[in-house]
Chains A and B, each alone.
Chain A
Amino acid sequence: MNKLNYYNTVTLQAESLFNLVDIQAERCFNADKLNSIMSPDEFAAIENVVLTGCGDSYSAAGAMRSVFVSLSGVSMTHSPDPMEFTRFWTNEDIVKDEGRKSLVVAVSASGGADRIVEILEKGKAAGARTMLISNNPSSKGAKAAELFFHVDTPELCNTPGLRSYFASMVGIAALGAHIGVCKGHISLKDFEDIKNALIIYVKSIKPFFAKIDDMMFNLSTRWKDFSRYDVIGDGSDYFTAQFVEEKLIECAGVHSSHVDSEDWCHINFFLRDPGTVGTIVHAFKAANSFNRLVETANTAASIGRPIVVVTDKPDAGFDERITVCAMPSPPEGYEWLSTMINFTPGSLISGYVAAVAEKKFFAGRYDFRKQEWNFN
């Protein structure tokens, strides 16, 4: 099969990230821009934060929560799902002490979802500051928010949203780092170093991209008829797994779920016909649970699960039946950066599985070849 015949908008976006990263980092890790949103003193006063969104944006919030904590120094940072936050959180859950020390951040590339507006209105009603991280300054979310952080992602196809997911994560990291600077938790040099490390690391993937893309395409030709997928990740990568799950559903309409390495062994292990459940594991060596991720991958292989492990340590003792997708390690001290880019192999599988099976994306509504929607 000729891979070029199955080129799709996931591949397009994945390969665009190597150019996007410079621009996105500059537009988000921009101290002047961040200072124009709110004064450094006001940022420094923030003591608890809610990060949430819908769909991919919720995944971005979850994936960046612990990064945000470590960069900002705001340990009370939570990422509830949108319904949990809007309908079940109380004002006391949102605002600790004085409201002006609490920040509710809604993440949404379009800024247009009703729930995003509701998140912001709920935060405001509780007395918190509210911020929208978005690519759309004229959206209703932007109007509902007290503060607006424009990630300002350059125009290009964003269906399904890989570039927006990446931009949201960069935006959240930049916001966290800026709060960290304002609080004196990190230095301005650290802020710049993080930006540079992000650019260098993402670009370091580029020489490997063609090989990764080939590998994911070849895998997809074997996995195209699978209707069930498990995506595994721990820590921040639990949300990477959620994002990949979302791409599998959006592109191929396949029944997918995300799970951590321990609970997979207790629950998803028992799915029948294991030879037909595509399994994607995210296992980077800096993960605190790396040894468990390796054990879980090997357990999945032992029952015949078709499995790919996305890792920076291919020689970790993975079962020989496992397809190992090797990626470079992030630089020392910036291990969290793997989460900024390790969603690409699983996303590529999503696009190719759909393309090879001659499916259109979004339940048949999006023609990735023509980049056209059809709602009829």
Chain B
Amino acid sequence: MEYMVKTLRELCMNIENIAEPQFDFAYKTFANLIPVECLKKVKKIIVTGCGDSYIAAAEAKAAFDKYLAGTDCKMLALRIVEASRYFELGDNEPDTMVVAVSVSGGPARISEVLMRGRKHGCITVALTNKADSRAAMNADYVYLTNTTPDSPGLCSYYASMLSLFVMAVAIGEAKKGTSGEMDILREKLLEYHKTFFEDFDAIDAVCKKTAGEWADSVGFEVVADGPLLSCGEFIAAKYAEAAGEKCTYIDSENYMHVNGLLCPTNGYGTIAMAVSDEPNMNRIADTINMMVSRQNRSVMLVCDKDPSEVGITQPVVLCKVRVPEKDYRFLFLLYSFIPGALMAGYQAELKNVAYFRRTDPVFIQSPNTTIASSEITII
């Protein structure tokens, strides 16, 4: 299709080439960005962004938790409206760092949160791909990602997340006065990256086949818990952006209270995401068994083990992925979205629709210009 410059599959495959250069670029850039003395005094790191960029922040929390453990510093991932308009900031918070993630650096809300941070005496950082963007102009520090722009943003999302991981290590080491974690992370990343992409063709084949079987679904849903719930949110965003389809995301407990009532009960293609040794496995297995046996839902399970090994007794499609060792499990989040993103891309192809409704007259006539032009209010 002419209007699809690159398919989501191609964008996913691009990720194979960027892990190492992106990591090295982030490492080099951040090492020279903020003085260690400044990092040492940081006690609160607020990371935020719009849409995908917020999700990258939410997914980076696990890395910050790991590397800031034992320090006096905490990371908070906040939705942009929460960060810019609601989250309480004191008059002068020099120990707080506000990190606004935006590949383009253009949204009004990104500049707004940086301006708000500056007003409240915080250290402000724009994590962006554009050195001359509005966000960059409004930040104390500009942490560049150096990625080729893609749309829908997959490499840029990956780059934002990976840059935040590097940031987490650097701040953790600065605060603890230690070193060596960065090299270990690099090694673990490249090791897992290779492993994941060894399986890519098999993952893609399962996704393509399942997407075809789900072509006429009423809608889509992702069921996941903890850090993977944010991954579900990202996949839902890709369904909207790529295919214009509604995809909801929900945790395995609230599914049982609410979303299991969606009608027709068998009408929703459902991606369930789980890792066998995580503490939610038994609950998500119960939920999957229920959604298949009672609601007759079609489920694709993204998991590191066979369904029978994790307590799933009902028929599901398995999209098997290998996962990193537990200490570096957060690296999985750099890749866990790929099956869902592939599904969203295939759905767009099946529906023959252009990404972001670029050929739809309604959207051509009424583009959403408010992302950039929205009124800035500094609270």
> Taking beta carbons and an 8 Å cutoff, which residues of A are in contact with B?
54-56, 58, 66, 69, 75, 81-84, 86-88, 113, 115, 227-228, 234-235, 238, 246, 249-250, 252-257, 260-263, 265-274, 277, 287-289, 291-292, 295-296, 299, 302-304, 359, 362-364
Q: Which of B84, B278, B356, B368 contacts A87 (CB 8 A)?
A: B278
Could you tell me if B257 and A55 are in contact, using CB atoms closer than 8 angstroms?
A: yes
Cα(A292)–Cα(B263), bound, Å? 33
Cβ contacts under 8 Å, A277 to chain B: 246
Does B315 lie at the interface of the complex (its beta carbon under 8 Å from any beta carbon of A)? no
Minimum distance in angstroms from B363 CB to a CB of chain A: 6
Could you tell me if A260 and B280 are in contact, using CB atoms closer than 8 angstroms?
A: no
Could you tell me if A262 and B109 are in contact, using CB atoms closer than 8 angstroms?
A: yes
Could you tell me if B225 and A289 are in contact, using CB atoms closer than 8 angstroms?
A: no
Minimum distance in angstroms from B351 CB to a CB of chain A: 8
Does B215 lie at the interface of the complex (its beta carbon under 8 Å from any beta carbon of A)? no
Could you tell me if A266 and B371 are in contact, using CB atoms closer than 8 angstroms?
A: yes
Interface range, B side:
35 or more
Q: Which of B241, B263, B360 contacts A363 (CB 8 A)?
A: B263
Could you tell me if B374 and A295 are in contact, using CB atoms closer than 8 angstroms?
A: yes
B244-275, CB < 8 A from A: 244-246, 248, 251-254, 257-265, 268
Could you tell me if B86 and A66 are in contact, using CB atoms closer than 8 angstroms?
A: yes
Other A-B contacts than A255-B262, A271-B246, A292-B109, 6 sampled, CB-CB below 8 A, are A54-B257, A266-B237, A269-B368, A272-B244, A272-B357, A288-B379
Does B362 lie at the interface of the complex (its beta carbon under 8 Å from any beta carbon of A)? yes
Q: Choose, from B74-82, B121-129, B163-171, B300-308, the stretch at the interface.
A: B74-82
**Residue among B52, B236, B261, B375 facing the most chain A CB atoms (10 A cut-off):** B261
Minimum distance in angstroms from B66 CB to a CB of chain A: 12
Given known A81-B251, A289-B85, contact A255–B244 (CB-CB < 8 A): no
**Residue among A227, A254, A255, A273 facing the most chain B CB atoms (10 A cut-off):** A255
Cβ contacts under 8 Å, A238 to chain B: 79, 82
Q: Which of B79, B351, B375 contacts A263 (CB 8 A)?
A: B79
Does B331 lie at the interface of the complex (its beta carbon under 8 Å from any beta carbon of A)? no
Could you tell me if A235 and B85 are in contact, using CB atoms closer than 8 angstroms?
A: yes
Cα(A277)–Cα(B240), bound, Å? 13
Given known A272-B245, A299-B368, contact A83–B50 (CB-CB < 8 A): no
Minimum distance in angstroms from B326 CB to a CB of chain A: 13
Could you tell me if A253 and B240 are in contact, using CB atoms closer than 8 angstroms?
A: no
Cβ contacts under 8 Å, A256 to chain B: 248
Cβ contacts under 8 Å, B357 to chain A: 270, 272
Could you tell me if A265 and B226 are in contact, using CB atoms closer than 8 angstroms?
A: no
Given known A266-B50, A268-B240, contact A249–B251 (CB-CB < 8 A): no
The 4 closest A-B pairs by CB, nearest first: A253-B263, A272-B244, A55-B257, A266-B51
